[in-house]
Structures are given as C-alpha cells and as structure tokens.
C-alpha cells in the first residue's frame, strides 16, 4: 500500500508521468466553450501558462483535518476540482465541499507511489478512485472504476512542481554581477570567441548588456540571446559562456539552455543544463570577471541581479476582466469579516423623545494590486500606465464602475487609497436614554483575473505589443454597511 504524502506546496503544477503516449504533460483547465468547458485535461505542454496553476488548500472541517486530504483550486477560474457525474474531473465548484457522501465532494488525497517515491497519485476521496488521464477522450482527467484504491499500478502518476519555483523573466533584461558591474560582451586576448564579462558600469552606454529571454516550450528552462551580437549564450568546451552564432533555440542544445533559480526578489542564479553547473563570475589569466558554468552549488559569485533596463515605457490597455471567474475572499475564510467603521453616542436626559442627526466619520481604505505572472521585483522596471475600469465589491457582488485612465502602477505592488467619509444617520432617542450607533461593514477582497494588451517602447526606439492572459487584479474594500443601535437607560436618581 502506498504511503500518504507530505504536505504539498500552496501553488502547484501537476506534471503527468503516465506512460501513455496520447497524454500530454501538465494538467490544465480547459477554458473553452462546449462539452469540455471546465474540464481538467492532461494536454498542457508549458508549465507556466496561467491555466496550469492550481492552489492546494487544507480542509476547513476539523473532522477531516487529521487526514492527508486537500482541496485543489484552479487559479485560472477560481473554481475547485470535483468529479462530474460522467466521472470527468472539472474545475466547477464555487465552494469547497467536505461531505464525503456527496459526489460533488472536493476532497482529494495525494498518495505517494511505493514504486515511484517522488511521484504521487491523486485519490478522489468520495469515490475512492484514482485520477488518471484518458488518452482516448481528449486526454481529460477522470476517475474510472478500474482504478481502485487497492491497485498499486492504477492511477495517473504526477510530479508536483512548486509554482513559486518557476521564474518567469521579462523578455528584455540585463544582468548585474556581485561586483556591481553589468554583464556585457567582450573580446578577450587569447580567446577565439567573445566572452561575457562583468565589466560595464553604465548600462545605458553599452548595448551589449542587453539580452532577450526565449522560453523553451515546457516553460521550465530558457535560452538567452544577446541582442547586440544577435547570438545566443552557449557553454563552450572549457565551460565559458559565450554568445555563439550557432546556438539557435531550434537546435535544442543543452549547452545553450539554462534553468533559472530564484535567490531573492530580483536576484537569480543560472544553471547550465549542459553540465548541470551554475554560472558564476570567474577570473583566470586575462579573463577577468567572466561568466563560467563551473559551480555545483550556488555561491555569492553566481548571484545575478536582473534589471529591466531595456524598456523605456510600458502601457496596459484593452483590459478584459473575467468577472465570471472572479471570487470574493475574507480574512476569515469560514465566515464574513466585519469591522466597526465608526461609533457615535447621543444622550437624551429629558423626559421627551428627541430626534437626533448623527455624523459618523471614518477612513475608507481600499487596497489594490495589479499582478502578473512575474515573480521578480526588478530594478529599473518602468511604472505601468494602466487604462482600466475600477473593480470593487458592492452589495456582496463584484462590480465594474468608472475608468481610471492613464494611472501609473507597479506590477505586483499594493496601492493604498484612503478617503475620509462622513455618513449621516437619524435616530429617535427615548427619554433618559443613551444611544450608541455603530457603523459596521464587511471587509472583503475580490480577485478578478484579466487579459490585456501590453505595449512596450524600448530604448532603441522600437516598440513591441503583446496579448497576455496572466493578469490578476485584487482589491480590498468595505461594503454592506449597516447601522447597529443599542440603548442604555440613564440613571434617574
């Protein structure tokens, strides 16, 4: 019997390892109209696409928290995975369901295979059947009667990839070494090919520091093109990294392929897949502070600060919010979060009822963030000029209101806006009574995915336009304002 697995990362990609040639590689949510809409399929070939990202959530019911079970939510449409009645797995549940007697239960159990300790199978808790990829029917993910829990060979095998380990770099970047100098192309005496050398102090004056990132089809590795020479980085026979004309992506050379490892917010290391060693700043002879793939582990000399110096300006427009995929979350996921926004007290120490007009003043604070798939906070990134409507929560619904034209933001940074608001409330105060009025609101955060057009103007004068589908807008605001009134009799003595 397979052993229950350790806790999974919060955000994951599931890579299918099933030996079925008809299956693809990564689980993905199918965002298409028709019969397969909302179905989870095994045909994704890139780990970094937005609909391949899933969130693993712990159960909320204390009765099942002692078991190794989880909920799995698609980050593309914000729906939880469950079984459909014809046994397909769909991302269609608005809320988690922990009732194991219902077919719509959203609990799954990750189980490590005894024969493949680094791989898991996913057990559908309600049916006690394993998930697997149906190569005959569009590679959809499904449960099957033949995949019983006591069959060790049954069920699809998956490798869990931590989404936060996938570093998505911008298209145009420059790299700064641990010596504070930028990496540029240099011709070194004694070397037939040019080398990459950390020797440029002012990145604006040397165009050889500019590089273009080309992602490999699986999204897990990259190739790097030096835009000045037009050549791709490649490891030579002595492990130097050189811009070489023959290192084109279609050649698929591992010597010209790198894996990005995140060190901190804007710092990475590059692992050359040709020799599985990290690229570092190295000096020997006349080759001073040049890039060489020679360390089996990351050292301080392998740290590369990524800078976004190529883009002069960036604008975002034609934003299309997918409101049907949006969700509202609260600080306490199991119940609404309420907050007292303002309090007013009025006293009537007469023998007659009194009408009073109260002013309740409070600070209305809204936090908003424009996010994309980039996980790095880059030095030199321009503010993004965003043309968009405003999205917020109102009356427990997500609503689009007036536009914010030409407002500048930074990706993945939270903006806080606070305004002073005064509300007028009328009360009738009974004789010899103190009345306390509290203005109470619900605090919630909406998450709204969106697609957009990105327009970049480069320092070279060129411009580039992309259509992207990786946007997520979040906004926290108060809504559902209600007045709560309490009365206390005054001491008549």
Tens of pLDDT along the chain (493 residues) come to: 333 445 789 999 999 886 544 445 899 998 766 666 788 988 888 899 899 999 999 898 767 666 789 999 999 999 999 998 767 899 999 999 999 889 899 999 998 877 777 888 898 998 888 888 876 665 677 776 554 445 555 558 899 999 988 888 888 899 999 999 999 999 999 999 999 999 999 877 898 999 999 988 888 899 999 998 899 999 999 999 999 866 566 667 899 999 999 998 889 999 999 999 999 999 999 999 999 999 999 999 999 999 887 678 889 999 999 999 999 987 666 566 789 999 999 999 999 999 999 999 999 999 999 988 876 766 667 778 888 888 999 988 999 887 665 677 888 889 999 999 999 999 999 999 999 999 999 999 999 999 999 999 887 788 999 999 999 999 999 999 999 999 999 986 5
CB 183 within 8 A of CB 195: no
List 415's β-bridge partners, or say none.
Answer: 368
Determine the Cα–Cα distance for residues 333 and 96; give it in Å rounded to an integer. 11
- CATH no. of 11-165: 2.80.10.50
Is beta strand 433-458 parallel, antiparallel or unpaired with respect to 327-329?
Answer: antiparallel
Pick the CATH number of 172-307 from 3.40.640.10, 2.60.40.10, 2.80.10.50, 3.40.50.300: 2.80.10.50
Tell me if domain 11-165 and domain 172-307 are identical in fold.
Answer: yes
Give me the residue spans of the domains in the chain: 11-165, 172-307, 314-489
Would you state the CATH architecture of domain 314-489? Beta Complex (2.170)
Determine the Cα–Cα distance for residues 68 and 79; give it in Å rounded to an integer. 21
Residues 6+ apart with CB under 8 A from 472: 371, 372, 447, 448, 449, 450
Nearest to 405 by CA among 314, 311, 315, 313: 315
Q: At 250, is the secondary structure helix, strand, or coil?
A: helix
> Of all helices (H) and strands (E), which one includes residue 141?
strand 140-148
């Amino acid at each position: 019997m397979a052993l229950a697995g350790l806790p999974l990362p919060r955000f994951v990609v599931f890579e299918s390892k099933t030996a079925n040639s008809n299956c693809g590689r990564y689980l993905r949510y199918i965002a298409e109209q028709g019969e397969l809409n909302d179905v989870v399929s095994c045909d994704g070939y890139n780990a970094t696409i937005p609909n391949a990202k899933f969130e693993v959530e712990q159960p909320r019911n204390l009765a099942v928290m002692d078991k190794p079970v989880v909920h799995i939510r698609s980050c593309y449409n914000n729906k939880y995975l469950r079984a459909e009645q014809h046994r397909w797995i769909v991302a269609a549940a608005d809320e988690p369901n922990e009732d194991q007697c219902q077919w719509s239960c959203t609990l799954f159990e990750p189980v490590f295979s005894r024969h493949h300790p680094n791989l898991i199978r996913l057990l559908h808790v309600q049916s006690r059947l394993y998930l697997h990829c149906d190569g005959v029917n569009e590679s959809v993910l499904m449960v099957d009667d033949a995949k019983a829990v006591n069959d060790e060979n049954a069920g699809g095998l998956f490798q869990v990839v931590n989404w936060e380990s996938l570093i998505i770099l911008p298209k145009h970047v420059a790299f700064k070494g641990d010596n504070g100098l930028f990496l540029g192309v240099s011709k070194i005496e004694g070397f037939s090919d040019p080398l990459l050398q950390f020797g440029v102090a002012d990145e604006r004056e040397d165009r050889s520091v500019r590089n273009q990132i080309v992602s490999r089809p699986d999204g897990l590795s990259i190739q790097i093109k030096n835009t000045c020479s037009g050549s791709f980085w490649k490891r030579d026979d002595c492990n130097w990294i050189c811009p070489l004309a023959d290192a084109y992506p279609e050649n698929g050379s591992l010597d010209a392929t790198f894996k990005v490892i995140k060190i901190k917010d804007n710092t990475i290391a590059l692992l050359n897949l040709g020799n599985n060693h990290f690229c570092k700043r190295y000096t020997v002879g006349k080759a001073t502070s040049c890039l060489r793939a020679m360390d089996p582990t990351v050292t301080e000399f392998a740290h590369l600060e990524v800078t976004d110096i190529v883009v002069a300006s960036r604008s975002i427009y034609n934003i299309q919010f997918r409101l049907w995929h949006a969700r509202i979350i609260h600080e306490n996921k199991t119940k609404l979060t309420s907050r007292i926004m303002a309090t007013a007290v009025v006293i009537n120490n007469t023998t007659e009822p009194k009408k009073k007009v109260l002013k309740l003043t409070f600070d209305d604070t809204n936090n908003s963030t424009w996010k994309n798939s980039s996980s790095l906070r880059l030095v030199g990134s321009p503010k993004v000029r965003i043309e968009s409507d405003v999205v917020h929560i109102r009356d427990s619904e997500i609503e689009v209101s007036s536009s914010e034209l030409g407002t500048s933001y930074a990706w993945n940074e939270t903006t806080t806006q606070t305004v002073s608001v005064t509300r007028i409330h009328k009360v009738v105060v009974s004789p010899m009574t103190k009345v306390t009025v509290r203005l109470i609101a619900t605090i919630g955060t909406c998450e709204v995915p969106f697609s957009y057009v990105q327009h970049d103007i480069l320092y070279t004068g060129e411009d580039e336009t992309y259509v992207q589908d990786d946007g997520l807008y979040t906004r926290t605001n108060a809504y559902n304002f209600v007045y709560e009134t309490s009365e206390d009799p005054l001491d008549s003595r």
